Structure 1
């Protein structure tokens, strides 16, 4: 879904922003602190219900205000989100109130690419699981329901582990069976999607890091040869001591392996950034292959990528049919890339929370 119009109210220093006639590429330039990234943050909130800068709503709802509103329009859908500083939210799709953020996320597949960040590689398994599960959510129809059933079973089991000092295996058995059933299904779904994802990743990696080889290796979070139920039964005493379920898909990881070792150890900072871009581009490419286009938030493009990498990334996003919202301090460099590639774009100047379209 490509957005044609975006309205933002009371997100950080953005009091009222109205952006009509959006294009395939939308460029926001201005000084640091002007509000450029807050525009991207608002779009991220709309699509996911979360900020990529903080998990506390009162920090992105404008100071002294109780709520923020983001509304977007596309050719076939109108979607809106009202987010309160308390954390409550209301979501509407085409005028109808919907119950879950997942319904918006399905309509608006969104990727955030931050050239400054290497978190996916450097900061533990959670970010890599989230990367894989984003793809799962958008290409595996049964994933979301299965994950919800697994998450509920996990919550119930963990509650028992925390509140009961003495639990027999028989008392845990119903939850062990449910957790194992849904966990094994999740594992098979992830393995299937990973195999489909690999050729897309290899193609994007070859374009960005042609001299390097990286393998995606999925670690299930339990001993696959014995099965999840066996792990839950066998280790229930340790879980009781930890008061937490140690084995299952919630502990899975997506390792990035090279011939010399894990990418987080052997790659330079610059290589890690290009590797993350290759991962995200390959997911966008996989959705594009099934006729689904992705909205991409590209924060501070010119900060750490050289001109060749900037040009290659912009060109590839255009080829994949993505709609891009891009921030930069260097308007001229970005405009040159877009003009050289004959890509349609709209330019917005951001100053002190005000966003003004620049007429060419």
Structure 2
């Protein structure tokens, strides 16, 4: 489902930029501050209607402007037929998303253009909060089962209602029983989809990691957000008084976490910085491989400054796996030569030089 044509307007220092990318590997190179990462940011906006670098639209939209726009021709299903996709955001926070001449919502957009980001923030999968790991996990669950988004929305609605009752402080027992029943129903189904996804991800991750990081074994585990030795109904009952004092629900899928361990120890505390780079890269690659197997189409990788994230040896291995995923990739670097010679001769590779927010013709 590659992007066959891309046009960017008013994103940071990219006043107006147009390019025809390769369906495989696209290397965007140039000096720091030239606009390389902004181009990746534009593609992320196209797929998710938001930036991966900031939540503030006044930082994303070019200084002095009121809106930004990204437009593309997209072969969404890999059929060889491209259709127009456009996303517009303005300073007021309004969004406009159109595909093939029709308005679409964020869920449809995410399904059309599945995007994986690998940058310095990717390390937060190991070092960050459980929320970061849930986001990683739910990306996969969303793209592996169409029921996920319905269950996730239903659960969030019930959780919000239960927390509102807890904050109010006085809860009718019959009303509490109704919401607890709904909470448990959605929680258990949501948990099942997450567990199924992790079990499918494990073999892909193990295989890739064995090639990228020889001699290191990572155990992938999962905590659902409550003690599975007891039923969730029992947990909610036992925790009710504490939840009432705190004003929110302390157990459930909203507390789920992906656990990564080395020899029984938390991976982030045992691995070197370089090893962490390889592990999070393997996780992202595994998601891409599994996505392809489940959906018969590939995702798009946005990789910011690959040479700084991996040494030459690991970069070569990483690039070999990118080729195997058949994914369209947009990869930034400062020095063009740092990403030359890493690809097979049969891989279609395009290089784009960005200087001061514009494509160089040199």
Same-fold call, TM cutoff 0.5: yes
Following the alignment from structure 1 to structure 2, what is the Cα–Cα distance between the partners of residues 128 and 341?
A: 36
Alpha carbons 1:176, 1:233 under 8 Å: kept: no
Q: Give the gaps of 5 or more residues in structure 2.
A: 76-81
Q: Give the gaps of 5 or more residues in structure 1.
A: none
Q: Secondary structure at the match of 2:131?
A: helix
Task: Sort the Cα spacing of 1:341 and 1:58 in 2 relative to 1 into closer, same or farther, 3 A.
Answer: same
Which position in structure 1 is the counterpart of 2:79? none
Deviations 1:194-251 (Å, cap 9, x if unpaired)?
1111111110111111201111100000122322222223212211211111111111
Q: Secondary structure at the match of 2:249?
A: coil
Task: Sort the Cα spacing of 1:58 and 1:229 in 2 relative to 1 into closer, same or farther, 3 A.
Answer: farther
After TM superposition, where is structure 1 displaced by more than 3 Å over at least 4 residues in a row?
A: 168-171
Which position in structure 1 is the counterpart of 2:113? 108
Q: Secondary structure at the match of 1:337?
A: coil
Following the alignment from structure 2 to structure 1, what is the Cα–Cα distance between the partners of residues 361 and 250?
A: 52
Note the C-alpha offset of 1:333: 2.1
In the alignment, does 2:260 pair up with 1:256? yes
In the alignment, does 2:11 pair up with 1:28? no
Scaled by the length of structure 1, what TM-score is found?
A: 0.94
Deviations 1:265-301 (Å, cap 9, x if unpaired)?
1111111110000101111111122312010001001
Note the C-alpha offset of 1:20: 2.1
Which position in structure 1 is the counterpart of 2:37? 37
Match of 2:347 among 340, 343, 355: 343
Following the alignment from structure 2 to structure 1, what is the Cα–Cα distance between the partners of residues 327 and 120?
A: 17
Scaled by the length of structure 2, what TM-score is found?
A: 0.94
Alpha carbons 1:71, 1:79 under 8 Å: kept: yes
Task: Sort the Cα spacing of 1:28 and 1:109 in 2 relative to 1 into closer, same or farther, 3 A.
Answer: same
Deviations 1:287-327 (Å, cap 9, x if unpaired)?
12231201000100111411111111111101110100010
Alpha carbons 2:24, 2:327 under 8 Å: kept: yes
Note the C-alpha offset of 1:115: 5.1
Alpha carbons 1:24, 1:345 under 8 Å: kept: yes
Task: Sort the Cα spacing of 1:23 and 1:61 in 2 relative to 1 into closer, same or farther, 3 A.
Answer: same
Following the alignment from structure 1 to structure 2, what is the Cα–Cα distance between the partners of residues 357 and 345?
A: 17
Alpha carbons 1:153, 1:179 under 8 Å: kept: yes
In the alignment, does 2:84 pair up with 1:78? yes
In the alignment, does 2:183 pair up with 1:179? yes
Which position in structure 1 is the counterpart of 2:222? 218
Following the alignment from structure 2 to structure 1, what is the Cα–Cα distance between the partners of residues 326 and 60?
A: 30
Note the C-alpha offset of 1:260: 4.7
Match of 2:204 among 200, 210, 217: 200
Task: Sort the Cα spacing of 1:323 and 1:21 in 2 relative to 1 into closer, same or farther, 3 A.
Answer: closer
In the alignment, does 2:132 pair up with 1:87? no
Following the alignment from structure 1 to structure 2, what is the Cα–Cα distance between the partners of residues 272 and 137?
A: 25
Deviates more, 1:46-55 or 1:348-357: 348-357
Match of 2:270 among 252, 260, 266: 266
Q: What number of residue pairs does the alignment pair up?
A: 355
RMSD: 1.6
Alpha carbons 2:119, 2:303 under 8 Å: kept: yes
Note the C-alpha offset of 1:254: 0.3
